[in-house]
Amino acid sequence: MGIVIAMAGKGGTGKTTIAGLIIRIIKEKKIGSIIAIDADPNSNLGEILGIEVKENIGTILDDISAHPESVPGNMGKDAYIEYRVQTAIIEGDGFDILTMGRPEGPGCYCYVNNALRNAMSKLIKNYDFVIIDNEAGLEHLSRRTTREADSLVVVSDASVVGLRAAQRITELTSELKIKIKNKFLIVNRFEGALDKDRIAELKLTYLGTLGLDNEIEKASIEDGSLMGLNEKNTSINNLRKLGEKIWHCN
């Protein structure tokens, strides 16, 4: 299996933007095949990567749960779910993307979630890098994608609330029994000194900060995609330096 990089952080910290930048950097380095998995119910990773998403796993599972008779008679449910997962993958320029969508509806999803996790385990073995953009609660990581990761990258702002959320995320990984080799912290949209004692309490390897970026703000207003940013963009350059531990983890 390739290197699994899981992103997490409370809403509004720029987690998905940093996930998109990491995907762009790995793509440009040409160090392996990439699949981006959008596991945040807000589902805007595709937009940031310049990809239009037409189908997601949530709607597929809703359909199978509500209409089990739709599974072809000559195909088992596991095989059918695996097939539908494959059809939901979109090929981008130098990476693939799969969108998980919203959490399940009111029906019973125990079986389809297990089948999905099996399908996802097979899928991610086909890639050198798997970048999973999670919500803060890590629901998809624990139930639908994979219960292990090489790197967990927690993105926070410098606020007390943001850092508390970062701490809660690290606690969740233990509660959910998610196996993670390396846990990192990036503080976004901040320039200046942070309280070293407060950072140490989080039990995360602190990589550094990324400041406010007018180019990224402009891109988000105009078309949302990070792929058109100049390669000399400040955030990209800084993340290239900060991120070596993320994608070259042991």
The model's pTM: 0.90
CATH number of the domain where residue 158 is located? 3.40.50.300
CB 119 within 8 A of CB 82: yes
CB 139 within 8 A of CB 102: no
Domain span at residue 180 reads: 3-247
Q: Where are the beta strands (DSSP E) in the chain?
A: 3-8, 34-39, 90-91, 96-99, 129-134, 148-156, 179-188, 205-210
**In this predicted structure, what is the pLDDT of residue 65?**
79
155: nearest Cα among 218, 209, 224, 112: 209
Q: Is 221 exposed, middle or buried (0-12, 13-18, 19+ CB in 10 A)?
A: exposed
Residue by residue, pLDDT tens for the chain (250 residues) are 689 999 998 888 999 999 999 999 999 999 999 999 988 877 889 999 999 988 888 888 888 878 888 889 888 888 888 899 899 999 999 999 999 886 655 554 455 566 777 788 888 889 999 999 987 667 656 665 667 889 999 999 999 888 999 998 888 888 888 889 999 999 999 988 888 888 999 989 999 999 999 999 888 888 768 988 998 999 999 999 888 889 876 5
DSSP string for residues in 97-118: EEE--SPP-SS--HHHHHHHHH
17: nearest Cα among 212, 232, 195: 212
Considering its fold, how many domains does the chain have in total? Answer: 1
DSSP string for residues in 166-205: HHHHHHHHHHTT-EEEEEEEEEES--S---HHHHHHTTSE
Cα–Cα distance for residue pair 73/104, rounded to 1 Å: 25
| Amino acid present at 150 | D
Rounded alpha-carbon distances, angstroms, from residue 239 to 26, 186, 206, 236: 11, 10, 13, 5
**In this predicted structure, what is the pLDDT of residue 157?**
94
